[in-house]
């Protein structure tokens, strides 16, 4: 799931050959939809990060002479940024300890993909979380959403708290990858959860 | 290989387009028409009143895959870039989305379960999200850039406020596209439906590129402008 998730990746490497190379590999990784920014200088990186948060920084530890990863970590704009070291030569382990992971220029696509996933999403989620079929309770809620009921009305109708309804809605959107009522309506019709007459108000 | 080589003012327009058709869109949105014969970039820009360095900067940015942040872009004209971004907005909202909707309307047959109406309504919903996103950009960000250009420095707003929350507008279409792929009626006109889908894929990419032009060309240009205006203000205050 989540194969359309955008993630903002900055590649900081002064060699254009390596930089373009890794960018092209990342573009082709399945299940990842990266927004890639190539950085050729440390100043560029700093200016960019001031304007926009970066989810993942892939950086040559020798970027700009020596990349100050410890200093980078302390910056407010980098607090949610993960950092992966990009290795083209041997680098001392004490340096690598400051990074969340590392990729060698000799790694294959599968290895790179695994390493990135590990850094971004942490340990594998359990299978329960990954299922994208709706539970009966979630279907009940979908039916009421597409009939045009508010969260409060749904909560009262199903004897739930509004908070619980909102949690269900969030899970429904995640499972189906649909965030709009009109999209949910299509899902509900196709899966015969509702009939046309139930949703007349939407079609007008 | 067009990855490495950058275009300059003396390249022929034809060679640019020939090497990368994505540049057709750039040309179009800068208001340069086709049928240019042997004209070079510089000549075409002059003939159509286009700010040549900005045009070249966007051309190179797009042709290099829209991912490179280049700090040496001092010669970009902010008004020209805003004009380009506005034209891009209107290309999608006023031309491309209606075109897609027409194709969908024709491709999907009417049926008793109301699917056709629902799908079209769904498309309208997503298209209006994109519209809202773009309109708010024009009202806040472009307006802010305008006042910076006038030498004013509005308090309480910085371009980074915008850029930090600048989400990927293409994502909204992705969701609609997935709905269409999963749930469209199987008795649709498949050639036409495919063509509409390909248009949506193309829009996603186009909007993606558009966002990158905003993030990597426009925002840095505004940051530079902010600096200049702030410096001028400081000098003025010190002079008092």
Query: How confident is the model over B96-102, as a mean pLDDT?
Result: 96
CA distance B231 to chain A (A): 18
Write out chain B residues lying below 8 Å of A51, CB-based. 159-160, 163-164, 215, 219-220, 223
Query: How confident is the model over A153-171, as a mean pLDDT?
Result: 94
CA distance B70 to chain A (A): 7
Is B176 in the A-facing interface, judged by CB distances under 8 Å? yes
pLDDT of B163 > 90? The answer is no
pLDDT category at B240 given cuts 50, 70, 90 is low
Tell me: the pLDDT tens digits for A71-122? 888 888 888 899 999 998 888 888 888 899 999 989 988 899 888 888 887 6
Window 5-64 of B: residues touching A by CB (8 A cutoff) are none
Strands A82-87 and A101-104: parallel
DSSP for residue B91: I
pLDDT of A125 > 60? The answer is no
Query: How confident is the model over B207-215, as a mean pLDDT?
Result: 90
Tell me: the pLDDT tens digits for B100-149? 999 999 999 998 878 899 999 999 999 999 999 999 999 999 999 999 99
CA distance A159 to chain B (A): 30
Query: How confident is the model over A176-180, as a mean pLDDT?
Result: 89
List residues of A whose CB lies inside 8 A of any B CB: 4, 6, 16, 20, 23, 35-41, 43-44, 47-48, 50-53, 177-183, 185-187, 189-190, 195-196, 199, 202-203
Q: What pLDDT sits at residue A97?
A: 86
Cβ neighbors of B189 (< 8 A, separation 6 or more) are B106, B107, B108, B109
Q: What pLDDT sits at residue A5?
A: 61
pLDDT of B2 > 50? The answer is no
* CA distances in angstroms from B3 to B8, B59, B63, B108, listed in the order given: 14, 12, 7, 40
Say if residues B85 and B54 touch (Cβ distance below 8 Å): no
Model ipTM?
0.79
Query: How confident is the model over A150-176, as a mean pLDDT?
Result: 93
- Ordered structural domains, chain A, with CATH: 6-121 (3.40.50.2300), 131-203 (1.10.10.10)
Closest partner residue to A183 among B4, B179, B223, by Cβ? B179
Write out chain A residues lying below 8 Å of B108, CB-based. none
Q: What pLDDT sits at residue B1?
A: 36
pLDDT of B63 > 50? The answer is yes
pLDDT of B17 > 60? The answer is yes
- The more confidently predicted of residues B236 and B189 is B189
CA distance A156 to chain B (A): 28
Q: Which two tokens stand for residue A5?
A: 């998730």
Query: How confident is the model over A120-135, as a mean pLDDT?
Result: 66
Closest partner residue to A52 among B114, B166, B171, by Cβ? B166
Residue B71 to residue A36, Cβ atoms within 8 A: no
How many Cβ atoms are within 10 Å of A143's Cβ, its own excluded? 16
pLDDT category at A1 given cuts 50, 70, 90 is very low
- The more confidently predicted of residues A48 and A131 is A48
Pairs of CB atoms within 8 A across A/B: 101
């Amino acid at each position: 799931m989540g194969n359309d998730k955008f993630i903002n990746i900055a590649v900081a490497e002064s060699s254009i050959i390596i930089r373009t190379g890794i960018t092209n590999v990342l573009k082709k990784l399945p299940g990842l939809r990266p927004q890639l920014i190539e950085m050729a200088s440390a100043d560029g990186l700093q200016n960019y990060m001031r304007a926009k948060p970066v989810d993942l920084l892939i950086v040559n530890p020798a970027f700009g002479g020596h990349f100050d990863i410890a200093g980078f970590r302390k910056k407010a704009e980098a607090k949610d940024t993960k950092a992966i070291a990009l290795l083209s030569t041997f680098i001392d382990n004490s340096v690598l300890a400051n990074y969340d992971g590392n990729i060698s220029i000799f790694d294959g696509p599968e290895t790179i993909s695994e390493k990135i996933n590990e850094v971004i999403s942490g340990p594998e989620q359990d299978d329960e979380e990954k299922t994208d079929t709706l539970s009966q309770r979630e279907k009940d809620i979908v039916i009421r959403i597409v009939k045009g009921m508010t969260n409060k009305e749904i909560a009262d109708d199903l004897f739930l708290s509004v908070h619980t309804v909102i949690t269900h809605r969030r899970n429904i959107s995640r499972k189906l990858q649909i965030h709009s009522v009109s999209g949910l309506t299509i899902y509900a019709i196709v899966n015969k959860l509702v009939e046309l007459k139930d949703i007349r108000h939407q079609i007008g | 290989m067009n990855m490495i080589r950058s275009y300059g003012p003396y390249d022929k327009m034809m060679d640019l387009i020939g090497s990368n058709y994505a540049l057709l869109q750039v040309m179009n949105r800068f208001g340069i028409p086709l049928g240019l014969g042997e004209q070079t970039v510089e000549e075409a820009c002059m003939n159509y009143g286009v700010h040549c360095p900005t045009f070249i900067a966007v051309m190179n940015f797009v042709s290099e895959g829209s991912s490179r942040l280049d700090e040496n872009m001092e010669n970009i004209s902010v008004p020209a870039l805003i004009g380009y971004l506005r034209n891009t907005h209107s290309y999608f909202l006023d031309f491309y989305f209606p075109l897609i909707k027409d194709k969908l309307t024709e491709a999907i047959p009417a049926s008793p379960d109301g699917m056709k109406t629902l799908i079209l309504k769904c498309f309208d919903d997503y298209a209006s999200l994109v519209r809202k996103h773009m309109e708010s950009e024009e009202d806040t960000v472009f307006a802010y850039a305008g006042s910076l250009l006038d030498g004013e420095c509005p308090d309480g707003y910085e371009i980074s406020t915008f850029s930090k929350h600048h989400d990927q507008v293409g994502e909204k279409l992705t969701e609609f596209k997935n709905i269409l792929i999963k749930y469209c009626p199987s008795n649709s006109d498949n050639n036409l439906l495919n063509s509409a889908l390909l248009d949506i894929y193309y829009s996603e990419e186009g909007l993606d590129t558009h966002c990158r032009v905003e993030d990597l060309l426009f925002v840095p240009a505004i940051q530079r402008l902010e600096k200049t205006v702030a410096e001028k203000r400081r000098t003025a205050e010190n002079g008092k």
